[in-house]
Amino acid sequence: MDAFYASVELLRRPELRGQPLVVPGTAIFSARQRAEPNPDDGVLMSKLLKILPVSLLVGALLGSLPNAFARDWKTIQASGTLTATTEGSFAPFNYFENGKLSGFEVELAEAVAQKLKLNIDWKPLPFDGQLAAISQDRFDFAISSHGYTEARARAVDFADPHYCTGGQIGAPKGGPLTAAALKGKSVGVLLGSTYVEAARKIPGIGEIKTYKSEPEVFSALLSHKVDAWISDRLLMRATLNRHPEAGVGMGDPLFVERVSMIMHKDNPELRAQLNRGLAEIIKDGTYARLSQKYFQADISCH
Ligand code: ARG
């Protein structure tokens, strides 16, 4: 199995990007030798020969995947289009309005792309599938309210934060609105989100139920399938403003997070360009306008 991982590592080397993988063994040989001129070629050769059958297999596997490596900045620029994903049910950040993707993050990404003179080709995806989609390079970036965590940062790269926020408890009035009151109570959270971790940290918490989207968590709360809800404070405020009849209130804040676009790890230039675009829309007032439009407040991290 070691040889398998060794060959995956070789295939992941940046100098191999763009190498023809038709005969992966051959591509590995030449790239490896160019990268590390080795006086003892014989030893290297015999080591590589040992992993050759495995690397052929890996090559075949990679060949069947969509793009094993990130599209670099030059390729993106030449295509004129960034491919992006977001979720579409995390209002006011990303949601559908009359069948059209809208929201603070959608407009923000469009404004960033405009600064980079690119279009965006959007393909929405459920939140819990996005991290894997980015590390498999199915999109150039995702903008879907990902809070920075060390675990995520091992899988993908984060751009500079485009807003700062926090996780908060929500519950029917008279329900468990503090961390202490959640002892033995059930809580609903979005699958794959930082709220799952936050819920786990609450001492004595009862059942933690995960749902595929925030509207599903909210309806579970309204139909008493869960006692409380942990979610983003800005999303919660907007949801409760739309549904005053629900009789749900906001409770204790639990943690704070910095939210960024995420992209493939092999793409430092794309990251720099997205950061440049973001800095430009902050400078020219577009960011402030969007923040006021959606939140009537400055939600930036500064
Ligand atoms: N901020 C939370 C997290 O980082 C939730 C993000 C959910 N985003 C979404 N588009 N549904 O996990």
Per-position DSSP letters for the chain, written without gaps between them: -HHHHHHHHHHH-GGGTT---SSHHHHHHHHHHHHS--S-HHHHHHHHHHHHHHHHHHHHHHHHSS-SSPPPHHHHHHHTEEEEE--SEETTTEEEETTEEESHHHHHHHHHHHHTT-EEEE----GGGHHHHHHTTSSSEEEEEEEP-HHHHHHSEE-S-SEEEEEEEEEETTS--STGGGBT--EEEETTSHHHHHHHTSTTB--EEEESSHHHHHHHHHTTSSSEEEEEHHHHHHHHHH-GGG-EEEEEEEEEEEEEEEE-TT-HHHHHHHHHHHHHHHHTTHHHHHHHHHHSS--S--
Instruction: State whether the beta carbon of 145 lies less than 6 angstroms from ligand 1.
Output: yes
Task: Find the 3 Cα to ligand 1 centroid distance in Å.
Answer: 37
- Quote the pLDDT of residue 41: 47
The CATH topology of domain 165-257 is D-Maltodextrin-Binding Protein; domain 2 (3.40.190)
- Quote the pLDDT of residue 8: 30
State the 10-residue block means of pLDDT for the chain, 302 residues long. 33 34 30 39 52 53 55 96 98 98 98 98 98 96 98 98 98 97 98 98 98 98 98 98 97 98 96 98 98 98 91
- Ligand 1 atom nearest residue 88's Cα: 10
- Ligand 1 atom nearest residue 146's Cα: 4
- Give the C-alpha separation, 183 to 27, whole Å: 58
Cα atoms in the Cβ-side hemisphere of radius 13 Å centred on 70: 24
Instruction: State whether the beta carbon of 193 lies less than 6 angstroms from ligand 1.
Output: yes
Query: Domain-by-domain residue ranges, the chain?
Result: 2-63, 165-257
